[in-house]
Every structure is written in C-alpha cells, then in structure tokens.
Structure 1
Amino acid sequence: MKKGKARTFQSRLQEDIKDPEFKAHYQEERQALKLAMKIAELRDFASSAFCIP
C-alpha cells in the first residue's frame, strides 16, 4: 500500500468535477439538497412562529 498524503474530499471533488457527467449529477443533487434545507428551515420557522410562550 502506498504511503503518502491522504486525499481530502475537496481534492477528490475537484478531480471528479472535471467529468461532465459527474458534474451534471453533482449539481442536480446539490440543488435538491439546497431545496431540502430551505424547506426544513421554513418548517422550523413556521413551527416556532405559532408557538405561544
């Protein structure tokens, strides 16, 4: 087994993102993740807005 510098996620991503097919799938999944995070944020806001202290 080779010993040397460990690869980080960022270095692997920069390498993989050069592949057009990978890049398209990555961007699609990233958009889906952003949308899911925004929905979760809005749900949290809505549930806290209707709570009576």
Structure 2
Amino acid sequence: MDQDKNVDIEQRHIEKRSDSSAVASTFIKYAAYLIIFFGFLYFLIKYVFPKF
C-alpha cells in the first residue's frame, strides 16, 4: 500500500488589489443608478400617482 506519489501541488497566491480608479468608477456608476432610480420614483410620486 505504500506507493510514492509524485503530485505537483499548484499554489495560488491571491493578492487583493484596490485600484483607486476602478473603485471610483464603480462608485460613480452605482451613484448614477441610484440617482436615476430615485428620480424615477420622484416622477411617479409627483406626476403619475396624483392623477389616480
């Protein structure tokens, strides 16, 4: 039962990168989504719902 196994173990090193330009562009993208969403809600509440 004693067999020598030659196994190559692949090692991965994960480095957490925080590229400030990628973080800033992602923040701007989601901030724009929020502004559009709340603008649409404001439009619905202000102009559409009072007509019912």
Q: TM-score range by the shorter chain?
A: 0.5 to 0.7
Normalising by structure 2, we get a TM-score of 0.57
In the alignment, is residue 36 of structure 1 matched against residue 27 of structure 2?
no
Higher share of residues assigned helix: 1
**Aligned pairs, number:** 36
Normalising by structure 1, we get a TM-score of 0.56
The structure number with the bigger radius of gyration is 2
Greater RCO between the two (CA within 8 Å, min separation 6)? Answer: 1
Q: What is the deviation of 1:35?
A: 0.5
Q: State the identity as a percent.
A: 8
